[in-house]
Amino acid sequence: MKDKIIRVATSLFHRKGYFATSISEIAGLCGIQKASIYYHYASKEAILYQIHSTTMDDLTTYLKGNLQGVDGIEDCMRAAVRSHVRFHLERQKETFIANTELRGLTPEHYALIVAKRDTYEQIIQEIIQRGCAAGIFVDEDVKILSYAILTQCNAGAIWYKPGGRLTVDDIAEVYVRFALQGLMVR
């Protein structure tokens, strides 16, 4: 039932937003009483936290897996951007929520999610730093470069429509080329 609650809540939070979704709606679509939700989760915010936490953990694991065995700074950056875009398009609802619904978290949960996000961003920043140090990437503020790349890649979760004229891989490659063109020393 916990998985079903998360699936239903994810769909509702994505479609309506966290604040516009009620526990009663989640329970109704799960086919259970409102009180039954509280057997599994202490609050609606606990459901939101679970979505955030799982999404960040899965995103980081996915990135690390896609970087494993990749050599060369440019290839690492390609793999990182490709990984980020693919994850955001394939897990569109969760990533949309993770990118837009932080304000619904308690201060404690917010801090935990930001720490997970920082850990993820650090992986990207280390690749960029290596590229800057090697003279391959432009010598700019590494954090700002990483934020620019990640923010543009996050946007796919907003506009992507499955079954469109381009595949997830096609879209990821457009982002890879765009990011690398902005990073490379000319």
Please check whether residue 97 is in contact with residue 18, taking contact to mean a CB–CB distance below 8 angstroms: yes
Same domain for 95 and 179? yes
Please check whether residue 132 is in contact with residue 138, taking contact to mean a CB–CB distance below 8 angstroms: yes
Give the CA distances from residue 137 to residues 29, 45, 77, 134, 183, in Å, rounded to whole numbers and listed in that order: 50, 41, 10, 8, 5
Same domain for 32 and 71? no
Same domain for 79 and 163? yes
Same domain for 23 and 83? no
Same domain for 34 and 61? no
Same domain for 57 and 148? yes
Q: What is the pLDDT of residues 103-122, one digit of tens each?
A: 999 999 999 999 999 999 99
Q: What pLDDT, on the 0 to 100 scale, is given for residue 166?
A: 95
Q: What pLDDT, on the 0 to 100 scale, is given for residue 33?
A: 95
pLDDT band, residue 52 (cuts 50/70/90):
very high
Is 47 domain-assigned? no
Same domain for 56 and 37? no
Closest CA to 99 of 107, 91, 142: 91
Q: What pLDDT, on the 0 to 100 scale, is given for residue 99?
A: 96
Q: What pLDDT, on the 0 to 100 scale, is given for residue 122?
A: 98
Q: What is the pLDDT of residues 77-108, one digit of tens each?
A: 999 999 999 999 999 999 999 999 999 999 99
Same domain for 33 and 89? no
Q: What pLDDT, on the 0 to 100 scale, is given for residue 125?
A: 99
What is the pLDDT of the chain when averaged over all its residues? 97
Tell me how far apart the alpha carbons of residues 67 and 32 are, in angstroms, rounded to a whole number: 42
Is 170 domain-assigned? yes
Is 7 domain-assigned? yes
Tell me how far apart the alpha carbons of residues 62 and 48 are, in angstroms, rounded to a whole number: 21
Is 83 domain-assigned? yes
Q: What pLDDT, on the 0 to 100 scale, is given for residue 49?
A: 99
| Domain count for the chain | 2
Is 133 domain-assigned? yes
Q: What pLDDT, on the 0 to 100 scale, is given for residue 79?
A: 99
161-172: b (≥16 Cβ within 10 Å) or e: eeeeeeebeebb
How many alpha carbons lie under 13 Å from residue 131 in its C-beta half-sphere? 28
Cα Dmax for the chain: 61
Closest CA to 59 of 84, 32, 36, 23: 84
Same domain for 18 and 59? no
DSSP lists the bridge partners of residue 137 as 184
Same domain for 166 and 77? yes
Give the CA distances from residue 1 to residues 47, 56, 170, in Å, rounded to whole numbers and listed in that order: 13, 22, 36
Q: What pLDDT, on the 0 to 100 scale, is given for residue 16?
A: 98
Structural domain boundaries, residue 10: 1-41
Is 46 domain-assigned? no
Q: What pLDDT, on the 0 to 100 scale, is given for residue 78?
A: 98
Q: Which tokens belong to 179?
A: 């990011």
- Global pTM reads 0.95
Q: Which CATH number goes with the domain that contains 17?
A: 1.10.10.60
Same domain for 26 and 57? no
Mean pLDDT of 25-43: 97
61-90: b (≥16 Cβ within 10 Å) or e: ebbeebbeeeeebbebbbbbbbbbbbbbbe
Q: What pLDDT, on the 0 to 100 scale, is given for residue 186?
A: 84
Same domain for 35 and 120? no
